[in-house]
Amino acid sequence: MNTLGKLFKITSFGESHGTIIGVVIDGCPPLLTIDQSFIQAQLNRRKPGQSNISTSRNEDDEFEILSGVFEQKSTGAPITIIIKNKDTRPEDYSKLKDIYRPSHADFTYQKKYGIRDYRGGGRSSARITAGWVAAGAIAKLFLAHFEIDITAYVKQVHQIAINKAYLSLNLQNIETNSVRCPDPETALLMQKAILEAKQEGDSLGGIAACIIKNCPIGLGEPLFDKLNAKLAQAVLSINAVKGIQFGEGFNSVLFKGSELNDAFIRKQNGETGTQSNYSGGIQGGISNGEIIYFETAFKPTATISKLQKTVDIEGNEHNLEASGRHDPCVLPRAVPIIEAMAALVLADCILLQKAYTL
């Protein structure tokens, strides 16, 4: 349900147009310095209204820590973070009260629970992920002790994709453009495509990549908490995600075993490593010390302004023209969310591995 993780655990709460959204982190090790400006910086990467290609909802997403931090340090007690919803316009949604927006969760929530907070998607809104990003920022602060570095970026928007190997990209470029694509020329094309879709009242999907450097060997707990399985569960929790793949992923099937196997070699520093990294840094569900690489597919935003056919709660047919504010493409704002989920999973895995090391 709303708790993720075994040791570094987060419990998510709140609705899009309620008073607040938030998160409780239970299991943050004590004595961690909680750098609030870092948390805010992560939230700012996710917040709405940051550019002309994101939703116009106006939220500054300032957070407040309600518990678990004393004199700037974690105490081992649960850390509660809330973010107030300021620019709520529940009235925008009153006409959606009984209507199911296509490819949203309106219908399934109504059927599952027999009730739903219809204002802006309520609990199913992507706004909830702000809490995850705040929690992920704390996980990142923890991971910094191990020098683990997690970087996501936009690899593809609709038909426009980076066609370079990820190792050749300059990841410093990611935050230099509104689309969070490390390849500047591709970024421009992506922005153009998104703006066109926005003008059409339409939306675009895309693929985000995530690169994790300096992950220690040994993270992941077979057989059912393999690192890739845990990452998959966490990332599939993000709204609009339709798939995940590790290393070569679906492309692996075009290789033969003799082509895809990563030969072990003695590296220059004397350590064992792999020559290639088709595995994407995870073997047998455990990190192998190489770069962890995975990709996530996002469908186009379900909310569009174009006219759509749908039915209401009584089964009557309607033509729906969505109001409410939304992103023409979620990818740029999904980047910090993916990083957060990866950070939460890695923090959990590190604690598990610490527990079991004699």
Hey, which bits of 121-238 come out as E strands? Answer: 149-157, 160-161, 206-213
The token pair at 152 is 């996501």
Site string for a second copy, 156-195 (x = CB under 8 A): xxxx------------------------------------
Q: How far is the CB of 279 from a second copy (least distance, A)?
A: 6
How far, in Å, are 55, 57, 107, 139, 177 from residue 307 at the CA level? 19, 21, 18, 42, 31
Helix axes 331-356, 129-144, angle to 10 degrees: 50
128 binds a second copy (CB under 8 A): yes
- Separation CA 333–CA 340 (nearest Å): 12
Q: Which of 43, 53, 82, 141 binds a second copy (CB under 8 A)?
A: 82
Q: Which of 40, 50, 178, 310 binds a second copy (CB under 8 A)?
A: 310
18 binds a second copy (CB under 8 A): yes
Amino acid letter, 143: L
Q: Footprint of a second copy on residues 32-71 (CB under 8 A)? A: 32, 66-68, 70
- Which one of 38-46, 165-173, 175-183, 281-289 is the stretch in contact with a second copy (CB under 8 A)? 281-289
Q: Which of 109, 127, 215, 340 binds a second copy (CB under 8 A)?
A: 109
86 binds a second copy (CB under 8 A): no
Q: Which of 45, 46, 47, 104 binds a second copy (CB under 8 A)?
A: 104
90 binds a second copy (CB under 8 A): no
Q: How far is the CB of 316 from a second copy (least distance, A)?
A: 8
Give the number of residues in contact with a second copy, rule: CB under 8 A: 149
How far, in Å, are 136, 186, 203, 207, 242 from residue 159 at the CA level? 30, 11, 13, 10, 17
Amino acid letter, 241: V
7 binds a second copy (CB under 8 A): yes
Secondary structure (3-state) at 311: strand
- 280 near 316, Cβ under 8 Å? no
- Which one of 13-21, 54-62, 168-176, 332-340 is the stretch in contact with a second copy (CB under 8 A)? 13-21
